[in-house]
Structure 1
Amino acid sequence: MAQSSGANHRGLMILLFFTFFMVMGFEMIMPLIIGYYVNTMGFSATAVAFALATRQFSQQGLAMVGGTLADRVDVRTLISIGVLLRSIGFVTLAFAKDFPLLLVSMILTGLGGVLFETPYQTAIATLTTERNRSRYYSLNNTITGIASTVGPLLGTLFLYLDFRAVCFGAAFCFMITFIISRFAMPPVVRVAPSYSVRSSLRAIGKDRPFLMLTLLMIIFWLAASQINLSFPLRIQELSGSADSVGMMFAVYAAVTTVLQYPLVSFMLRKYSPRQIVVIGIFIIAVALLLLSFINTTHMFLAVVVLFTLGFLLARPNQQTMAVAMANPQAMGMYLGVNSLGFALGSGFGAIIGGVFFDLATKTGLSMIPWFLFCAIAMVSMFGFILCKKLGQSPQLPEISTT
């Protein structure tokens, strides 16, 4: 990738604006969909959940396609097409009064994500260096935290007007990202020959350290994804009010916004990314264990703060490790494969979380899910401890271009 340092800096700053509007637009609409279609439109929860799952599969299940394209096509072009497609998906959602059109809108938003998500990550990987990558990811996650706080508030305000207003607002945010990516972001173009997809998949299949990282990411997300499933269920159970869920995510977003960048920057002066991941997962495991003994809302929120601190340490440094271990010839493909860790871990984590939460409710043994999730997190932590080569730049063979 040929870029001047000045263009790199400009591109990274532009990507922060891109992140803000992209996340704000997504968070403005997505949390409201199931409530609107179930409570207002009279759809079954199963039908809406299926549509949402289709969006997730369309995006995460095809991540390698986006990665392959990112290694062959101008990343700026892919990102701009992807965000435009997602904007069209949200406009379609504004007119979706039946299930088929709802499904079409979710597929459009998912396919848009295929075109911009991995190319967007590839752009960050290309424009950063090993020295500034972890700090940039932490800064990027801070912007994500701010946008995740603002988005739902705007969505709620627009909902007082009409659900269509929410859809158009979200679509407008992605149109802003289209303008940013099309006219402000510098091009990120490959100067090396395109690789053979079959050859790159064969190389990834033989890259045991990278596959181990992806496996450990799957295990990590089985536990970490509970912040979006078991945590909301438990705090609502403790408080007896759905408002407590919003309070929990407000605490999560506030801690992320304030501490993400300074915390990671401080830790990087003392430890390697792999060591910070181990510390972060250990904190997460402790938080999950403590939830076995929590019986008040305030104590629960205190543990959410602890969990968030662990997540702030683990997540950006996992991203840094994945980039460092990827073959530069096929960066997009490698990141696409690594994203499967999130897709599989979060997907199965939701299933496991739901099953064990129902089991705890039926048996009265509320500690069962938290013991399980703590154990899963510890397995991931010991994996990162034992695999000392994780995060190191390997001497990788050339990937065939034919």
Structure 2
Amino acid sequence: MPLPAPATPSRSSIAVLLGTQTLFNIGFYAVVPFLAVVLVQDFLLASTAVGLILGIRTFAQQGLFLAGGALADRFGARAMILIGCAVRAAGFLTLAASLRGSTPVLWLFILGTLLTGFGGALFSPGLNILVAAAQSARDRKEARQVRRATLFAWLSITGEIGAVTGPLVGSALWGWGFPTVAGFGAAFFAAIGLFLAATLRRPAQAGAQDSAQAAEGKPRGSLRQCLGDRQFLAFCVLHAADLLAYNQLYLAIPLELERQDLATQWLGPIFAWISIVTLCLQLPVSWLAARIGAAATLRLGYILSASGFAVLAFMPPTAFGDGSSPVRILCAVTLMTLGHLSVHPTALGLVPKFAGQHPTGSYFGLLSSCGGLAVLLGNLLFGWLLVQTRDSGAPSFAPWLVLIIPLLLASWLGARVVKLRQHRGAGA
């Protein structure tokens, strides 16, 4: 007896999913960018300790995506999204409470940062599951192959809108103190949770994971299958180079500004430029990716990111003028951003194809967790090499090879893994 096809998600249900990403990023970026300032000004910590705490926070989110995805497979995407909202709201409340007393409480602040990370590890895989189910249902509806931007490309755009808006909201509240900023974040995520508790319950959300899995007969608990899929494991390890590369916008780029004796105030315009590039070019890049295919898109995207780091590694500042302007860095950042716009939605769109008849939560989680581990280890190696080259007089391009070589390997081998999987799927 054939299994019924899952209902095609309505435009309103898709709008809810995409809008949720905007709301998540508004609440996140209204608070998190100010954590480093609080650790320095209120807790009087050195930059090394600040970096360690924020690094642990990032790993608590990215590193635990696998656990969040597995839980979403077990208990449902909707449940984990709502629990994740509650955990992040509790994290922001804990951050606010750490500064409410006469003496700041560091352990409470660290606990709050960990909770904010863990909350993201719970709800982000769930949102990816719902978007993937909606994309699959939309693809089935097409009577012919329509090459257009995927929902994951739109997810990138809506997320960027939130990433731009959030810091503006946080800055507007900063005058009332960080506890007010963190309190706003807690209330905002609590409101998001209530909103999603109502909207994700509607029948129009039939493209969601639970109904889609039931309709397709997918077995629950795909963690074992995910970890045993050697091709997908290889893809996750190779694609981790993208998250490591994109994370350098927060590490390598500020350090390069400092090395070039450029004011740190340039960071604002640089991040504004990244947002402009993302909002203006994500859809055209995704339309092109739909036409040339996933393997070619991954190969080109990884090379673009590697080219951005090659500019910083091998081209002196004087190649772009007198070396007193950030043009060289803007050129590198543009290439890195275009690379990320190419490969990130493409990789997310490939996850359901790798998963096949298994639930996608563990697969999304493993993809992100590998990236989080790469960021943790890669940043440590990159920072150590920076110190070594400065102290020993080694070639200044050496640290950048930590970022360039993984991207080139991903370009060469990642596309091959995807082609092999596509051929295997076609022959099945």
Please state if 1:207 is matched with 2:222: no
Which string of whole-angstrom CA distances, capped at 9 and with x for unpartnered residues, describes residues 188-212 of structure 1?
A: 3242778575xx4443344222111
CA distance in 1, matches of 2:402, 2:87: 40
1:90 offset after TM fit, Å? Answer: 0.6
Q: Is the 8 A contact 1:325 1:393 kept in 2?
A: no
* Closer/same/farther in 2, CA of residues 111 and 220 from structure 1, 3 Å limit: closer
CA contact (8 A) 2:218 2:357 kept: no
Number of the residue aligned with 2:115? 108
What is the correspondence of 1:3-402 to structure 2 with a 5 Å cutoff?
A: 3-7=6-10, 9-96=11-98, 97-129=104-136, 130=139, 135-185=150-200, 186=202, 188=208, 189=210, 190-191=213-214, 195=219, 197=221, 200-269=222-291, 271-292=292-313, 293-295=315-317, 296=323, 297-362=326-391, 363=393, 365-389=395-419, 392=422
Gapped regions of structure 1 (runs ≥ 5): 397-402
Mapped partners of 1:95, 1:110: distance in 2: 17
Percent sequence identity over matched residues?
Answer: 26
- Asked whether the 8 Å contact 1:327–1:334 carries over to 2, the reply is no
Query: Given the two structures, how large is their TM-score scaled by the length of structure 2?
Result: 0.83
Report if aligned partners of 2:40, 2:47 keep a CA contact under 8 Å in 1.
yes
Two-structure CA RMSD over aligned residues (Å): 2.6
Q: Residue by residue, what CA displacement relative to the aligned partner does 1:9-42 show, whole Å, maximum 9, x if unpaired?
A: 3322101111111012111211210121212332
Closer, same or farther: CA 238–68 of 1 in aligned 2, 3 Å: same
* Distance in 2 of aligned mates of 1:136 and 1:302: 28
Q: How far, CA to CA, are the matches of 2:169 and 2:183 in structure 1?
A: 12
Cα shift at 1:276: 0.6
- The secondary structure found in structure 2 opposite 1:228 is coil
Which whole-Å CA distance do the structure 2 matches of 1:29 and 1:280 have between them?
31
The whole-number CA distance in structure 2 between the counterparts of 1:224 and 1:55 is 17
Task: Give me the whole-angstrom Cα distance separating, in 2, the residues matched to 1:59 and 1:264.
Answer: 27
Residue 162 to residue 306, structure 1, CA distance change in 2 (3 Å): same
TM normalised by structure 1 equals 0.88
In 2, distance between residues paired with 1:179 and 1:328? 32
**Matched residues in 1 for 2:264 and 2:410: separation?**
32
How far apart in 1 are the matches of 2:177 and 2:131? 36
> What is the number of residues matched between the two proteins?
392
Q: CA deviation at 1:138?
A: 1.1
Distance between the aligned counterparts of 1:161 and 1:364, measured in 2? 48
